[in-house]
Structure 1
Amino acid sequence: MAEGSKTVDQALRLLKEIGRGSGTVSELGTRLELPRTVANRLITTLHEHGFVRRGHDGRFVLGETLFAIASDADSRLREVCLPLLRDLAARTDETAVLTVGDGDHAVALDQHRAGAHLIAIDYRPGTRHPMAQAAAGRAILAWSPRRLIDRCAAREADPGALRAELDRVRAAGYAVSVNELQAGVAGASAPLFHNGRVVASIGLVVPAQRWPDPALLAEPVLAAARSASAGL
């Protein structure tokens, strides 16, 4: 491999690894079996261009430049889904969210908050979490390639429980969660498809006290997902 191609390959591998989990320069170099000097040089360049950023704990995470690129690439998705997010939020007086996959993580692409309640959930764009956690992620994961499901399951304390939950999601057509990412928050999400492939999920994040059974939100969520898939 030519030197220039090798450097690009290393940088891309590094971005993918940071997407799987944050780390210091030393940790990332060890995980990728790169010399610390090489890892430091690559991270410095990626940081200068905004592809990674250093967190308060000194560990590197993906940066805003990547999210901006992803946002541009998902312009059609946003164009189709933004009116549906507004309608879903208005129908339920809750926060509607659009989520996409990024490796084995789920990333909030957009949200629309209704204003009827004093207490509402803020699911800020750019928020990311493991795809195996919460309704928004599992609604994507359940229809994802087997290799991604296997990778996510391998990181769970009980891989069998995740696989069983994904079976339930596929059977119902939507995913639900309560008190997973944050205490007091519940959610319901359904997958969006384009050319037979899952590309995102749309759903609601709500106070669990107001919606102790988020399955009651399934009807409007599924309707929004069907409309979005038809428009993509």
Structure 2
Amino acid sequence: MTDEEVRSAFWATVLRDTKLPFWRGIQNSMEWAYDESFQAVTNDMRILEDQKPAKLLDERFYVAERALRQVAAETGMISTVQKISANDWNYTLVRGGAVAMVQCYVQTPSEMARPAKFREAMSAMNTFLSAPQFDLGDINPKVFDLSAINGILIHGPIGKKFEAPEQRLGFLNFAVADESYRTWGLNIAVAEIIARFEQNEAGLEVPQRDIAKPLIKRRAKKAEE
């Protein structure tokens, strides 16, 4: 598919299988999770001051997991706790129709989430990002139906200093890795997804490139390919 076809198929699937209250809820809840995590750690007198930044990373993960699961339950999305067989680690998986997601902290919106076998396995199913372009004239739209969008809610703070203003939520994106898990195929701010829903519900025609300008990257071919 062309980049435009990928975008069209992505938006059609997200608008069909997820709900505006979920995206609004997760935006608000993640803002709360960042503030709550920082306050919990900074006020914990049991933790040495110079070790609090490291503690914050752990605290934020668990609070963000709770936020994701709670918003999913409140908005009718399916939420399950999956156990990774490799290390018995548990994580929250949320699904709505063909759209599935987990959450992960990253330092910047463009940074890939830390490699993990379960994230790589999920991303391996995102074959629509590298599907061939069809040149068949009048094409049945069902050709471009997506069987699965496996994404990651990536998030990070405003800054790096261990101070309340810098540790607030700086960004929250829905990112879809390509099947090789080498780059983000789509990387869209949750705020842009909310805007798309709102304009869609208002019946406004929105050019594909005006609301969300998703980052689409194709994996570079190796010399021997």
Tell me the TM-score normalised to structure 1 length. Answer: 0.28
TM score, norm. by length of structure 2: 0.29
More helix by share: 1
Higher normalized contact order (CA 8 Å, seq sep 6+, divided by chain length): 2
